[in-house]
Amino acid sequence: MDTTSSTIKVAAVHAAAPFLDLAAGVEQACAFIREAGRNGARLVAFPETYLPGYPYWVWSHTPKHAAPLFAELYANSVELPGEASRALGEAARDAGIWVVMGLDERDGGTLYNTQAYYSPTGELVARHRKLHPTNAERTVWGRGDGRDIFVVDTGFAKVGGLICFEHTMDLARYSLATLGEQIHVSAWPAINATHADPNAGKFDHYSRTLAGAHAIASQSYVIFVQGRISEEIVERLGIPDGPDAPTVG
């Protein structure tokens, strides 16, 4: 870590972007990036799939009712490189800040759950694709591979990250530690609010515990960043009546 200063200021964005609206989401994200830069942060981290949103319906809807939402997600996902990615890079350059952005990445006919790393010069320098989507998430995202475990040397620290239940993958966490990770971005959605399951409230406990365990085991500083579910998202999901309704609300 940079020894010229004993303190590195970072920012964590706990927010929901306009749901499945990439253009509006990028505009909001760029505003957050510039705000973080104005306030002296050297790095800003965003939640899992902040752009254009997390596919909450995989936990609540039947495939029949989820199909239109999936089509919107695909149409509004980010290509790397692409117009939305360039706008994020420009915001990083304007702010003079490192950005770790959670997004749905579209590559050919496949979507990936991705963390994109932008430098203060505006370059997309790396991307981490979620190695193994969790449970029903496999109906939406493809898998990453071994290339997606890395740290980025920012000059002030070696930065890495994992997404959600990747924090249960001990070998992935161990790999980051052996690479000398010093700052870790632990990115999560706000999944618990979509469940009718009475055990769903445990999700926040799991996420905090896993993030804290990584901090202890790897001896790194962890930026814990979790999304939120807005009223817009609740309204967009909806719960239709009838025999084909989602199994949970």
Residue 130 is among the residues annotated as catalytic for this protein: yes
Residue 164 is among the residues annotated as catalytic for this protein: yes
Q: Which of 72, 130, 158, 181 is catalytic?
A: 130
Report d(CA 235, CA 239) in Å as an integer. 9
Residue 48 is among the residues annotated as catalytic for this protein: yes
Q: Which of 30, 48, 105, 137 is catalytic?
A: 48
Other beta carbons within 10 Å of 2: 12
Q: Which residues contact 178 (CB under 8 A, 6 or more apart)?
A: none
Contact 49, 106 (CB under 8 A): no
Q: Where are the beta strands (DSSP E) in the chain?
A: 10-12, 43-45, 98-107, 110-118, 124-129, 152-153, 158-163, 183-188, 221-226
Report d(CA 243, CA 117) in Å as an integer. 44
Q: Which of 72, 158, 164, 181 is catalytic?
A: 164
Report d(CA 107, CA 110) in Å as an integer. 6
Plot region of 20 (φ>0 → left; ψ -120 to 50 → alpha; else → beta)? left
Place of tokens 């999901």: 237
Which residues are catalytically annotated? 48, 130, 164
